[in-house]
Amino acid sequence: MAQQLLMPKATAVWLVDNTSLSFEQIADFCTLHPLEVKAIADGESATGIKGLDPVMNGQLTRDEIEKGEKDPNYRIKVATPKVRVPEAKRKAPRYTPVSKRQDRPNAILWLVRNHPELKDAQISRLVGTTKNTIQQIRERTHWNSATLQPMDPVTLGLCSQIDLDLEVEKASRGIIRPEEIAEEERLLSASQTQNWRHEPTAPAEDGELDAAAVFAKLTSMRRTESDEDGDERG
């Protein structure tokens, strides 16, 4: 099984900026289309993505880059990892480190613009945010809307490319299960609960007993019973 490249777009951005590899070589290595790589080089695509050095993360060697730069027909290959770490299965809600929480609004803006098919619950799972924050960014009522810049959450380290692709696939195929909907989407908002009003009680129908009349009748019955007891004693 071939080694899967991490964050292919971010890697392509770095290779375009730091090497003389051809668009075809970069596209083949990053499993992208050559026209997409050309768009990255022209600044028409991946403008909010920060380049990721594949040499630093051990997915490419300097020797491979040099071979590719000398021979345009050479196809660079992903380096074999020295240590294989099994991917941890995430079941609990995503925890975002404090140092990266300031990047979440930028990531939400990127997701809203680039993947409008994603539901709020999916965005919440990906970057660890709330429905209220997502709604504010969608409606541009967020307190920091003027300075927000769309940035890829994968590049920011808020989620993995696999998680993002999975959520996008679910949204495009319409297979979001009800149990996957965030709990906050099933609860009333604070404004809804504050404005809650009970429905007015329907008017009494004909034949319904009146409380005052019933109370008066019971009092009359008690007096009658008392009078009868007095006559028997007399």
Residuewise pLDDT in 10s, the chain (234 residues): 346 677 888 999 999 999 999 999 999 999 889 999 999 988 888 777 888 888 888 888 999 999 999 998 999 988 876 655 555 555 444 555 555 567 889 999 999 999 988 999 899 889 888 889 999 999 888 888 888 889 998 888 888 889 898 888 888 877 555 555 544 444 444 445 455 454 444 444 444 445 666 666 666 666 665 555 555 555
Three-class secondary structure assignment of 121-151: HHHHHHHCCCHHHHHHHHCCCCCCHHHCCCC
Task: Give the CA angle between residues 220, 221, 226 to the nearest 5°.
Answer: 100
- What pLDDT does residue 202 have? 46
Q: Where are the domains of the chain?
A: 8-70, 98-186
Do residues 103 and 142 make contact, with C-beta atoms less than 8 angstroms apart?
no
Note whether 26 and 17 are within 8 A (CB): no
**In this structure, are residues 150 and 110 in contact, taking their beta carbons and an 8 Å threshold?**
yes
- Non-local CB neighbours of 87 within 8 Å, separated by 6+ positions: 162
Tokens 């990266």, located at residue: 100
Asked whether the beta carbons of 107 and 59 are under 8 A apart, the reply is no
3-class secondary-structure state, position 76? coil
pLDDT of residue 201: 44
